[in-house]
Amino acid sequence: MSRIRTRAGTAAFAALALTGAACVGTAAAMPADMTPAATACSVDYTIQNQWDGGFTTAVTITNNSAALSGWNLTWSFSGDQKVSSGWNAQISQSGADVTAENETYNAALATGGTVSFGFNGTFSGTNTVPATFKLNGVTCNEDTTPPPGGGGGSTGSGTRVDNPYEGAKVYVNPEWSAHAAAEPGGDRVSNEPTGVWLDRIAAINGADGKMGLRDHLDAALQQGADLVQLVIYDLPGRDCAALASNGELGPDDIGKYESDFIDPIASILSDSKYANLRIVTTVELDSLPNLVTNTGSRATATAACDTMKANGNYIKGVGYALHKLGAIPNVYNYVDAGHHGWLGWDNNFDASAQVFKQAATAEGATVDDVQGFITNTANYSALKENNFSIDDTVNGTSVRQSKWIDWNRYTDELSYAQAMRKELVSVGFNSDIGMLIDTSRNGWGGAARPTGPGPTTSVDAYVDGGRYDRRIDIGNWCNQAGAGLGERPQASPAAGIDAYVWMKPPGESDGASKAIANDEGKGFDRMCDPTYTGNVRNNNHMSGALPDAPLAGHWFSAQFQQLMKNAYPPLS
């Protein structure tokens, strides 16, 4: 008796040259310039395993027409195949004719929705894939209909839209949603869209019982979503200036990064089953900014970052990812651009834009592979400081001279993102690029939120009394005490900004408060320890981190409760 392959294994087995065909459906048979939206329905029929006299098949139906409250799929075998058992459908057979009908729990099939079932069968001779499938009497992979409504209807044509978020229904990760909804009051935000983090090779197919990439994409189709947000995050020598999110790949593992991480992701995203989804990829957080601020003769330099600058693998890895993913017509690449409290100083700002351009033109990539940039990912920088501006003076002293601003050019994330966009265009990026700002944890509401400017007794009192960002130091980044949910995800909120997003899922830890043994490649960073007195990167201040935090990416209930309590705008 064979083992039935899971969906995670389908991609590998689709390449097997089984008798007849290993994987046939509209996606495999259609020309590259067509999409499933041009058909009333599509069927992916995958022979997952075959042995002498038997086989296991998985079937996925995509409905591109009006929503159905019940469905049946019919086909005819060309040989002597017999269905012996099935799951997720009621399957009957008369001669060569087979009918699969819905179960009560999967009867509803929305426009753009998918449903999957499978069966075991027997055969002798050849096991040819059926030539024709009919969904409720309509021939799939053939009958043409207008694309269903929704923001993503144009992506399969190979023409990207200017702003993928405009008019799009964005995917809600059911795993994150379940965590949020389980918290008291969490149902107020549990239907918000968040990023799906691919932060190790095992995450592609699903690790530790979690959903893999195909699972998420299939769930997005089932939701009728137009857009899915992915975080691509597994560079060699990842996060060279911190330890909490160190990765699984060594500094020289660029070949493994390309073949075992980026290539499988690209293969899945290229599946025409997903051609009508707009897929936003946020590419390699923190990597390129580290090459600017944490190398060479700077006080913040680390040996690990010097190594990554010398071997060029951050540049190569990002370039390779942009090139491979950018070749897929419905993928929208956004490159990480740090945040204003990292790159807003004169000696960081221009240099960063140049490094971003270098990476975007490496390993076959071009600026056309970049749809925009994302700032403040997994960080806490306030979106807009309303109680002071960079041009203010107090008793003749510029706000830039305050200890908090410390000669930065920018007071908040919105002004930084808009200025960085202008700089990026000036160095050669396309004029229509857009910016994303992660607002998942930068609301800074609650009782500590200032209601007006600080006193004008000194520039420090003025800034500190009026600033929304209540961190001890702008360099603090791990599980910050007092933080709150920020602006809810929304498209086109400001000039040059494609969307406010929750790319970092609220409630997922930045790193453990103490060393925890794990097989995820995640180390212990003292910046996550609430007793830590700091280093040069945060001006030797206390870390401001919450206690009792789990490993990076793991659910942190206390943080989530704090984020809801201090949300701004407040939760109703």
Active site residues: 286, 510
Residue 182 CA: distances (Å) to CA of 32, 549, 550: 43, 18, 18
486: left (phi over 0), alpha (psi -120 to 50) or beta: beta
Let me know: does 37 contact 196? Beta carbons within 8 Å. Answer: no
- What is the DSSP annotation of 135-156? ETTEETTT---PPPSSTTTTGG
Token couple for 156: 């399969």
β-partners of residue 45 are: 24, 59
* DSSP E strands, 368-484: 372-375, 393-394, 397-398, 434-438
Which pairs with CB-CB distance under 8 Å and at least 24 residues apart come from 247-250?
A: 247/199, 247/200, 247/521, 248/200, 248/201, 248/520, 248/521
Let me know: does 429 contact 354? Beta carbons within 8 Å. Answer: no
Burial of 203 (0-12, 13-18, 19+ CB in 10 A): buried
The separation between CA 536 and the C-alpha centre of its own chain, rounded to angstroms, equals 31
Token couple for 11: 């991609």
Cα–Cα distance measured from residue 499 to residue 230, given in angstroms and rounded to the nearest whole number = 15
Strands 54-63 and 114-122: antiparallel
Residue with tokens 């960085």: 420
Q: Which of 267, 269, 286 has its CA nearest to residue 278?
A: 269
Cα–Cα distance measured from residue 257 to residue 263, given in angstroms and rounded to the nearest whole number = 8
Token couple for 276: 């009508």
Let me know: does 54 contact 123? Beta carbons within 8 Å. Answer: yes
> What is the amino acid identity at position 200?
R
Alpha helices in 294-391 (DSSP H): 303-311, 313-326, 340-343, 346-360
The separation between CA 306 and the C-alpha centre of its own chain, rounded to angstroms, equals 28
Cα–Cα distance measured from residue 442 to residue 426, given in angstroms and rounded to the nearest whole number = 29
Which residues, including other chains, have CB under 8 Å from residue 499's CB and lie 6 or more apart?
A: 163, 165, 434, 436, 437, 489, 490, 491, 492, 493
Cα–Cα distance measured from residue 158 to residue 342, given in angstroms and rounded to the nearest whole number = 36
